Structure 1
């Protein structure tokens, strides 16, 4: 079974960033070949609409049959609100909470991000998963792209 990997905006943007380019582009190639399923959200698509064309173009390398797009529904909004009210993440970072909530509700295999302050952060990962478990959701793997790429 192919891994369903939720990608936030930082990973796509990382394709054009010197620090993150190598691993971001390798990950996009795995999506393009169908080895992994690229899971995006309507929020990610909306955020990328404001990005430069050279960033947006990386999504075009992945065939539609290897992409799944999630919607920010009422269940995900409620879970994101719980992350905020329980102090896992601040109100002003609501979009990050929504990314995690959509991925949790959709039961993806892993979230990947280069956002080490609000997403790929041990304290926050424990917080997200604590809320998830208390609300009947499974724990969620959250990693940086380089952590999930197979050795070549």
Structure 2
């Protein structure tokens, strides 16, 4: 990327994928797959190739209900319902970490606090939401 921040994120992601991925059981949600295939670019094809062997977590009724609770509870804005679904799928599947560079609605301390309250009220423990950089290890 020509954007220096995006380029840095891409490099960190590449490094995480190459050096740390093997330390975790990795999954992808159908929500993310849908986002990838919505773009008919060469980059999207490369992304799909990279994730093709990951187990897919489907959006089920439990995840849909939690998504609605997040939006209804104003933890995630309605216009970002896909972000809420992403968190909900990870949460109902008891995923430990949700990696993302979406710091607006996912890896955002204020949002995480609100989402955590909704998840706890619904009887769930929310995964740790962080960037690949935060999960690089020591």
TM-score range, shorter chain: 0.7 to 0.9
Match of 1:107 in 2: 94
How high is the TM-score relative to the length of structure 2? 0.86
Quote the Cα distance in structure 1 between the aligned partners of 2:133 and 2:35.
23
**1:123 matches 2:110:** yes
8 Å contact 2:36–2:48 — kept in the other structure? no
Match of 2:3 in 1: none
**Cα deviation digits, residues 95-151 of structure 1 (max 9, x gap):** 000000000001111111111111111111011111111111113211111000124
How high is the TM-score relative to the length of structure 1? 0.78
Instruction: Give the structure with the larger strand fraction.
Output: 1
Give the alignment of 1:63-102 within 5 angstroms.
Answer: 64=53, 67-102=54-89
Match of 1:140 in 2: 127
**Cα RMSD for the two superposed structures:** 1.7
8 Å contact 1:84–1:94 — kept in the other structure? yes
Q: Which runs of 5+ in 1 are unaligned?
A: 1-16
Q: Which runs of 5+ in 2 are unaligned?
A: 1-5
Larger RCO, structures 1/2 (Cα 8 Å, 6+ apart) = 1
Instruction: Give the structure with the larger helix fraction.
Output: 2
User: What count of residue pairs does the alignment treat as equivalent?
Assistant: 131
- Once structures 1 and 2 are overlaid, which stretch shifts more, 78-87 or 53-62? 53-62
8 Å contact 1:37–1:68 — kept in the other structure? no
